[in-house]
Amino acid sequence: MFGLLQADLPLDQLRSRWAPAPSQFIALMGMQVHLRDEGPREDPSPIVLIHGTAASLHTWEGWVDALKPTRRVVTMDLPGFGLTGPNPEDDYHLDTYVRFVLALLDRLGIQRCVLGGNSLGGEIAWHVGLAAPQRIERLILVDAAGYKKWPKGMPLGFLLAALPGSRPIIERVLPRFIVDSSTRFVYGEPSRITAAINDRYYQLALRPGNRGALARRFRQVNMGEDTHRLGELRMPTLIVWGARDRIFGLGDARGFQKAIPGSRLQVYDDLGHVPQEEDAARTVRDVQAFLAA
């Protein structure tokens, strides 16, 4: 048992490793939010990208590198994840995340944007589109959550965090193999995973407070509650999906496409739940075509 215990890593150490320039931290909703704001400031409609559960802004680095020469691109660590860490109110409900994104846009002076998100980030993105449609020029949903009530499958780390009463345990225990197996679960082709990717997911999970926040987040999930409103989304929408996604299948992708008027679905047969990370170069080309259309 003692071999399974894993203490949190010091925040300063994590910031030194995972928040080099152009990372910055801004005060928002009682947190020091980790974000990157890159590209030309004169862009009238910046691209804002939201990561998924247990991920971080680093999942978008490939897309950002391709987009930032001509577009302003904002990425952030959501409350409960990455270097932003836990919400002081311990509140991870979907409407709180929507308020967080809108507050961040206000803080950065962004009145209108292209909003994209992966998994949980995609669910947040389409809910922001419902809450403030006048602020969203285009929507990009990458293996987005929220179409069904619950995933068809989950990584081992998520299954453990979702167990009732798991919080006191996962706050102290995190064998490396749990994180590594979870990363393999979300990739369509595990051979694309590098040691650096596994290190990032593991170390950021050990940011003080993140493990408890993950368990709390699963207590507050209520997916599928607003699916009937998807038809209200009238902005141009690109749906990006990995056919090997073992969390949200192609049925969800086609459900979003059918429900959102005029939306376009782009499927990648060999990619999994995080196609923007697994093959950034290929997926961002389709995003660029969508933005130029």
Contact 149, 227 (CB under 8 A): no
Contact 244, 272 (CB under 8 A): yes
Cβ count near 120 (within 10 Å) = 26
Tell me whether residue 222 is exposed, middle or buried, using C-beta atoms within 10 angstroms of its C-beta: 0 to 12, 13 to 18, 19 or more: exposed
Contact 111, 135 (CB under 8 A): yes
Here the tokens at position 293 are 């259309």
Domains and CATH numbers, the chain: 2-292 (3.40.50.1820)
Q: How confident is the model at residue 2 (pLDDT cuts 50, 70, 90)?
A: very low
Q: What is the pLDDT of residue 153?
A: 79
Q: How many angstroms separate the first and last alpha carbons of the chain?
A: 56
Which neighbouring-strand residues pair with 138? 114
Here the tokens at position 197 are 């990717």
What is the distance between the alpha carbons of residues 192 and 83, in angstroms, rounded to a whole number?
Answer: 24
Beta strands in 78-204 (DSSP E): 113-118, 136-142
The torsion angles phi and psi of 101, rounded to 5 degrees, stand at -65, -45
Contact 218, 165 (CB under 8 A): no
Distance (Å) of CA 119 to CA 53, 95, 233, 239: 7, 16, 18, 12
Starting from the edge strand earliest in sequence, which strands make up the sheet with 237-242, in order?
Answer: 24-28, 31-38, 73-76, 47-50, 113-118, 136-142, 237-242, 264-268
Q: What is the pLDDT of residue 286?
A: 98
Contact 11, 34 (CB under 8 A): no
pLDDT in tens, 113-148: 999 999 999 999 999 999 999 999 999 999 999 997
Here the tokens at position 269 are 């047969």
Q: What is the pLDDT of residue 178?
A: 87
Contact 8, 207 (CB under 8 A): yes
Question: What percentage of residues in the chain have a pLDDT greater than 70?
Answer: 94
pLDDT in tens, 46-66: 999 999 999 999 999 999 999
Question: Which run of H or of E encompasses 35?
Answer: strand 31-38
Q: What is the pLDDT of residue 167?
A: 66
Q: How confident is the model at residue 1 (pLDDT cuts 50, 70, 90)?
A: very low
On average, the pLDDT of the chain sits at 93
